[in-house]
Amino acid sequence: MDCSSGVCIVANDKLYMTSQARIVAEPKDLPVEMAASIKDETLNDSFLWIAGRYVQAEQANRNGQYWTLEDLQKGEDSIRHTPLNVLHEIDKPVGTFVETKLIHRDVALENGHLLPEIQALSVVWAANFPHVATAIRLAHDQNKLWYSMECIAEAKECLECNRSFDWNIPNSLACAHLANDVKAPRRFKNPTFLGGGLIFPPTRPGWSDADVTEVANELTLEYANRDFKNIDKEAWESMMALATSSVE
């Protein structure tokens, strides 16, 4: 995948991919596929609701991570009710994922290929973490808010030599491809998704079309081609101060 418009992040000695997230105010603002499943519900106004693209299949992201459609079908149910954190501080949840939808979407490729992806809806417990909610709104207003998924799997398969290894085997003891390149293309077979983090600048997306929308008619290729530029240092420091003061 051409991911020149985004980068991955490193947190807790792990490599993560990210995708832009957006705040939603009511069910009609959700992506059309997800809104249909909860259209009769009223969103609890003590929560901050966030919709986003969570993970994509059938094409490796810039971190070398790859899932098949079958992998997403098997792993989708594991996402619901998992914790949502800030910057992958997994011991400090600030919300939870409540709904998912597996869809196929056009991506910004010359062949116009349809790729499967999981979209996710989460809540931030805004009443409990008001400073986090404020920081999220600031990032969202500048299009600088992203999801970053967390995942384990039954096995990892090197896409260079097609050998599979138990998930717990260190890459250094696997094949030469995985041992020598942290971003070597590899499939996560039969994944279990553990939740995800909300990411603020200066980090940016790890897959070029992994962004989020809050309105159905915004699900277009313009998001795949969006240029995510860093915000200024002062705004970044302000958002991070708000977020970390609440979760420490």
**Which has the higher per-residue pLDDT, 171 or 21?**
171
Checking if the pLDDT of 228 tops 80, the result is no
Domain assignment present for 1: no
pLDDT at 137 over 80: yes
What pLDDT score was predicted for residue 62? 76
Predicted pLDDT at 46: 86
Tell me the one-letter amino acid at 155.
Answer: A
* 247 belongs to a structural domain: no
By C-alpha distance, which of 94, 91, 83, 22 is closest to 242? 94
Residue 193 token pair: 């998704």
Indicate whether 72 belongs to any domain.
yes
pLDDT at residue 211 in the model:
41
pLDDT at res. 148: 87
Cα diameter, the chain: 53
Question: Which structural domain range is residue 110 located in?
Answer: 9-241
Task: Considering only residues 138 and 211, tell me which one the structure prediction assigns the higher pLDDT.
Answer: 138
For 80-99, what is each residue's pLDDT tens digit? 999 999 888 889 999 999 98
Question: Higher confidence at residue 177 or residue 61?
Answer: 177
Question: Three-state SS for 157?
Answer: strand
Q: Where are the beta strands (DSSP E) in the chain?
A: 9-11, 14-16, 19-24, 48-56, 65-66, 83-86, 95-106, 114-124, 146-158, 164-166, 186-199
Q: Give the pLDDT confidence score for residue 205 in this predicted structure.
A: 46
Locate 175 and state its tokens.
């094949």
* 3-state helix/strand/coil string of 15-82: EECCEEEEEECCHHHCCHHHHCCCCCCCCCCCCEEEEEEEEECCCCCCCCEECCHHHHHHHHHHCCCC
Please report the pLDDT score of residue 11 as a whole number: 52
Phi, psi for residue 221 in degrees, rounded to 5: -70, -15
The answer as to whether 191 is a domain residue is yes
Q: What is the mean pLDDT of the chain?
A: 74
107 in a structural domain: yes
Residue 143 CB burial class (10 angstroms; 0-12, 13-18, ≥19) = middle
Is residue 191 predicted with pLDDT exceeding 50?
yes
CB contact at 8 A, 29 and 196: no
| Count of residues in the chain | 248
Kindly report the number of other CB atoms within 10 A of residue 188's CB atom. 22
How large is the average pLDDT for residues 102-121? Answer: 74
CA–CA dist 55, 157 (Å, integer): 18
Contact in structure between 207 and 6 (CB atoms under 8 Å): yes
Contacting residues for 38 by C-beta, under 8 A, at least 6 apart: 27, 30, 99, 121
Query: How buried is 232 (Cβ within 10 angstroms: 0-12 exposed, 13-18 middle, 19+ buried)?
Result: exposed
Determine, yes or no, domain membership for 36.
yes
Q: What is the pLDDT averaged over residues 160-188? A: 95
- Assess whether pLDDT exceeds 80 at residue 17: no
Evaluate if residue 165 carries a pLDDT over 60.
yes
The pLDDT value recorded for residue 244 is 45
Query: Quick one: average pLDDT of 148-170?
Result: 94
Asked, for residue 4, whether it belongs to a domain, the answer is: no
| Count of structural domains within the chain | 1
How far, in Å, CA of 87 to CA of 92, rounded?
A: 10
pLDDT in tens, 19-73: 667 677 666 666 666 665 555 556 677 889 998 889 989 988 878 899 999 999 9
Residue 202 is predicted with a pLDDT of: 53
Give yes or no for residue 196 having a pLDDT over 80: yes
